[in-house]
Amino acid sequence: MRSIPALFVLFCLLVHPTFARRPSERIRLGFYRRSCPRAESIVANVVAKHFRSDNTVTAALVRMQFHDCFVRGCDASLLIDPTPERQSEKSAVPNASVRGYEIIDEAKKLLEAACARTVSCADIVTLATRDSVALAGGPRFLVPTGRRDGLLSNPDDVELPGPAFPVANSIELFAAHGLNTEDMVTLIAGGHSVGVTHCSFIRNRINDPAMNRTLNARLRDICRAPNDPSVFLDQGTPFTVDNVIFREIEAQRGILKIDQNMGLDNSTRETVSTFASNNKIFRRRFAKAMVKMGTIRVLTERLGEIRRNCRVFN
């Protein structure tokens, strides 16, 4: 089992093989237009309320969606609470610091009051993440809905890339989920444009002689403090979803080794450079990659359920 210290973190709807079933079973834009017309606005209002008091919720929700989709697919299996009799994905070490569950709970409670057993927890996660990205200055984009909630949540299924994961291994992992190399760069480094890591996860990076000397000195100073201090992954605009982190990677200022390696590897360096020089292109590709990630192994119709409570199976 590999650990992940920070979120991975990641407009056109790409028909992914995982949901390319007969037309009635596909997730689609405006799925709740008739069954729950206020569904998307209810989620958006809840996210906006939390963002006003804590602008780090974007980092939390992007990470939550990544951790959910990359295990059993985008089925909200991450949200299930463990019990003394049965562990869940929440019990796995990489998910120990995932947060933001209360946002999903609040949205679910309001949606159940407005249109009971209609909107899935999996769709709430997708919508909430999308809305939080826009609030953090990132792109605004549409996401298809119609996912169902999964019926299994097993900690043994959790296997996620760590902070020093090799680029080649990352490419292979993303390809297994139907995502290409550009998607990988976009989602990993783009997701790291917000959020933090802890000093215990970057010791190897601090000892890298290629790291920018000014940044290295600053990190060494921060990490001398007790209690495993946190460090912004994007030193320039840590609360904004933008391309600044790619400029930092180009300047050998990537905080995580996995980020910095993408700036050096022949298979990913050109994408990093493109994003570093053009925020408009990054925003467009980030939106596209987020939509694509949200289609991983989705469940529809009879393949899943609509939970009444996102933390427990019906």
Q: What is the CA radius of gyration of the chain?
A: 19
Question: 67 catalytic, yes or no?
Answer: yes
Which residue has tokens 């996995």?
Answer: 258
End-to-end, the C-alpha distance of the chain in Å comes to 29
Which of 16, 50, 67, 177 is catalytic? The answer is 67
Which residue has tokens 């199976």?
Answer: 313
CB 4 within 8 A of CB 165: no
The alpha carbon of 188 is separated from its chain's Cα centroid by a whole number of angstroms, namely 9
> What are the Cα distances from residue 287, in Å, to 150, 231, 267?
25, 26, 22
Which residue has tokens 């959020």?
Answer: 195
> Using CB atoms within 10 A of its CB, is residue 74 exposed (0-12), middle (13-18) or buried (19+)?
buried
The alpha carbon of 182 is separated from its chain's Cα centroid by a whole number of angstroms, namely 16
User: Which among 72, 283, 125 has a CA at the least distance from the CA of 190?
Assistant: 283
Tokens of 265: 């590897």
Q: Which residues of 294-308 are buried (b: 16+ CB within 10 A; e: fewer)?
A: bbbbbbbeeebbbbe
Residues involved in catalysis: 67
